[in-house]
Amino acid sequence: MREAHDVERAVGMDYYVSDADGIGGRLRDSPADFRVTERELFATEPVDADPGAYPHLVLRVTLSDWDTNDFAGALSDRLGISRERVSWAGTKDKRAVTTQLFSVDGIDSDALPDLPDADVEVVGRAGRPVLFGDLAGNDFAITVRDPDAPENVDAITADLREFAGASDGDDTTVAVPNYFGQQRFGSRRPVTHEVGLAIARGDWEGAVMAYVGNPSDYEPERTREARAFVEETRDWAAALEQYPGHLGYERAMLHRLVEGDDEPGDFRAALETAPTNLQQLFVNAAQSYVFNRILSARLERGLPFAEPVEGDVVCFADRDAPEGLTVPDTDRTQRVTEGRVRSVSRHCERGRAFVTAPLVGTETELADGDPGDVERAVLDAVGIEPADFDLPDEFHSEGTRRAVAVRTALTIDRDPLTFAFSLPRGSYATVVLREYLKRDPAAR
Residue positions annotated with a catalytic role: 93
Residues 6+ apart with CB under 8 A from 91: 68, 69
Closest C-alpha to 191, from 211, 218, 219: 211
Phi-psi label, residue 110: left if phi above 0, alpha if psi -120 to 50, beta otherwise: alpha
Which amino acid, one-letter code, is at 114? D
Please state, in angstroms and rounded to a whole number, the distance separating the CA atoms of residues 50 and 42.
Answer: 18
Q: Which residues pair with 141 in a beta bridge?
A: 35, 420
Are the CB atoms for 336 and 312 separated by under 8 Å?
yes
Q: Determine the Cα–Cα distance for residues 134 and 126; give it in Å rounded to an integer.
A: 13
For 48, other C-beta atoms within 10 Å of its C-beta total 10
DSSP-derived secondary structure for 36-77: EEEEE----B-TTS-TTT--EEEEEEEEES--HHHHHHHHHH
**Burial degree of 265 (CB within 10 A; 0-12, 13-18, 19+):** exposed
CA dihedral 249, 250, 255, 256 (to 10 degrees): 80
- E runs forming strands in 65-213: 86-88, 97-105, 118-126, 135-143, 173-177
CA-to-CA distance for 100 and 56, rounded, in angstroms? 16
Asked if 327 and 135 count as a contact pair (C-beta separation under 8 A), the reply is no
